[in-house]
Amino acid sequence: MRRRNDPLLSATVSLIYVFLLAPIVIVILSAFNAGDFLRFPPQGLSLRWFVRAAQLEPFVRSFVFSLRLAAVVTLVSTVLGTMAALYVVRHAARFRDLLRMAIVAPLQFPAILTGIALLIFFLATGIGTRGMRALFIGHTLVALPFVFLTVSAVLVGFDRSLEEAARSLGAGPLVAFWRVTLPLTKGGIISGALFAFITSFDQFAISLLLVSVGNTTLPIQLYDYLRWSFDPAAAAVSTVSVLMSVGIVVLIDRLVGLQAITWGGPR
């Protein structure tokens, strides 16, 4: 209790929060700038740059494309990550640590190195170096480990006697999984899916190497826009992305409750 009330600890935690949130606050305030250039503090308040961003067809196209890509990546990553977690935690024995290291390996290297490796791989195999297919594979590669880790953390502490009770009452393996395992692990699955969506939607380094004409993600479009224009339209688009992420958290809170997104689920 003395540590919790320590003024030095409270000040340190407050500074950490300020350090993490200050860039987001600056971007949001800059988006409402009434001036013609991206600057902080803003020169008055206006919604003109939100209207301007909505009128820019490249931003709209890349935003829709990023949503579609992130949705597909999230779906595939959630299914594969959950299946991988079930196998590694419950069935893999001799090669468990090796499999775990292989699945989470993309998180241990800089994303730009992963992007270069994917680019070389696509060139060598002829799969296609750029476009939707390459982006899907690259984003899934870095999004899947988040699902695997969160679901694995839930399964490690899972009470398997509940499944055994369901099986003893006549439920088959699939029924026991659907009626017992899945509901009790939904916190980890939802959490992993959320991480996967955000990872794909905000992915920059891999997308930079794998995008093609007509298949540009929103982060790359923002990067290209800021190379030639330095107005608050880019901040407006970034603000929409931040609000969308907050909206996802609020939606999950309304549907399942934030207490479900914990390692052990609701208590």
C-alpha span between 122 and 142 (Å, rounded):
16
C-alpha span between 9 and 266 (Å, rounded):
29
Domain 56-260 has CATH 1.10.3720.10: yes
How confident is the model over 135-166, as pLDDT tens digits? Answer: 888 899 999 998 998 888 888 877 667 776 77
C-alpha span between 135 and 112 (Å, rounded):
14
- Residues paired with 106 in a beta bridge: none
Domain extent listing, the chain? 56-260
How confident is the model over 45-54, as pLDDT tens digits? Answer: 888 888 888 8
User: Which token pair is 117?
Assistant: 């490796």
Residue 49, SS3 per DSSP = helix
pTM (predicted TM-score): 0.80
Most confident of 53-67, 70-84, 196-210: 70-84
Q: Which strand (E) or helix (H) includes residue 247?
A: helix 233-255
C-alpha span between 81 and 3 (Å, rounded):
39
